[in-house]
Chains A and B, each alone.
Chain A
């Protein structure tokens, strides 16, 4: 079923290879400029009307952000993960808030947590979860949360920290 859909839509939207995870879940990558047209066609003609989630993955080593738009067709029980790769330095993408109003919330969070901008998305620059944040967007891989907490917060005197790996090793694999 997914293969038929992929074959049908590839010529119009320059889709990459279909990666089938299981019978009702697959992933596909396409150029960022084709995303809005592809999602609109998925929604209006293929029954993928439910935007399940929109999130980002930071591939720091490859200099790219991956945006994943999880689309669901409830009647046919199909979920398609639509992937778009963005250059990490520009980190900008077309907004889809006019297709799904709820996308504005996801885009607002992505702006705050990953620093990815979606020009035209409502209330994009309003604080969502963080307050007065001036550091790197914290969900980027180059933001070191451990170093941040060590610099920002004082340790309680007398606190003892055990290495969880050593502890687990002694409990789970006492023989070594």
Chain B
């Protein structure tokens, strides 16, 4: 097979410390902005690449295109007013923000959530995870020129958005999980309509297996590329599928079960090669897990009961001084909310811990040197980064 190897004798040599002295004046280096408007970029961020020939020698992540100051905004709002803001931190998987915030408030305020609400929350989170993975599969295909997977996955995601709409009244920002429980019950016939969506999804995913994962071009461009050495997992705070693809079965759903995950039967998908291909395969297996979990939840959940605890008068709701950290496993890894209260009617501090904060900043910048320009998009998408959770 033909493989193109650039003549590296023409390249500048690193110094004694192994580092390059990058001097743009020499004409041997070029600055290349990968984003913020680029088909291979997920969301509003950019990577400032320094390239030498077709090889990237340095990459710096730039964010701030979508900074809305949420953490500061929330300090000016009462606990109930914060609730409609949190979901807007992350567009593709907003429900995790709602769950983490609600659970943190409940813990500090001593509110017990009805059992049915915990099942409904788990259902919503798995539906959100499924949708987030649909965007991932479309994105990784798009980053490598396989546009059709993006179209298929957008269609399947849209079907799930229909289920979100009938359950919550909204398609993207659901505002369904609020402190105390959830806003409503399952509509009549919901389980049957969900089953139709899941079956359609499985049909399309079988096609993705053939068109993308079995595609030799896709395999050539993803196998052995963008490898994250497992030794980097702890220093760089790698969690979720990015760690699982390297053989470490990190999954908050198993490691520290929350909601009703201890009552559900599922295995955590892992891989060994820790490259772009394996990360995509792990996420593909995770989609099947989510589909199975949605079916299990709909089968096992209580059929009736309250879904909302009684809240105090939310206009005068004060929470005693305290702090807590609530976490869960979102589609990209560990997602968490750190909430500090000071006894007033407003949060003292809310900090959102999104997995992209480490994956797209320190880790991506560490992985980029030495890659080919054409692999940067796939590498970045394979880390499943969502910039809004970096800049909040």
Contacts and interface: CB of A to CB of B under 8 A. Distances in A.
Given A21-B107, A102-B235, A165-B315, A74 B81 contact: no
B378 interface: no
A56 B67 CA distance: 18
Interface stretch (A4-12, A47-55, A85-93): A47-55
Given A49-B234, A70-B325, A100-B237, A146 B358 contact: no
Interface in A129-176: 129-131, 138-139, 141, 145-146, 164-165, 168-169, 172-173
Interface string B315-350: 100000011110100000010101010000000110
B34 interface: no
Q: How large is the interface on B (under 10, 10 to 19, 20 to 34, 35 or more residues)?
A: 35 or more
Interface in A99-136: 100-102, 104-105, 127-131
Interface in B25-75: 63-64, 67, 69, 71-73, 75
Interface string A49-88: 1111101111000000000101000100101010000000
Interface string B181-211: 0000000000000000000000000000000
B9 interface: no
A173 B336 contact: no
A172 B314 contact: yes
Given A52-B336, A55-B338, A145-B69, A102 B314 contact: no
Interface string B245-283: 000001000011000000000000000000000000000
A24 interface: yes
A57 B237 contact: no
9 contacts: A22-B107, A50-B239, A52-B334, A58-B349, A70-B338, A100-B235, A101-B366, A145-B73, A173-B313
Interface of B: 63-64, 67, 69, 71-73, 75-76, 78, 80-81, 107, 234-237, 239, 250, 255-256, 313-315, 322-325, 327, 334, 336, 338, 340, 348-349, 351, 353, 357-358, 361-363, 366, 391
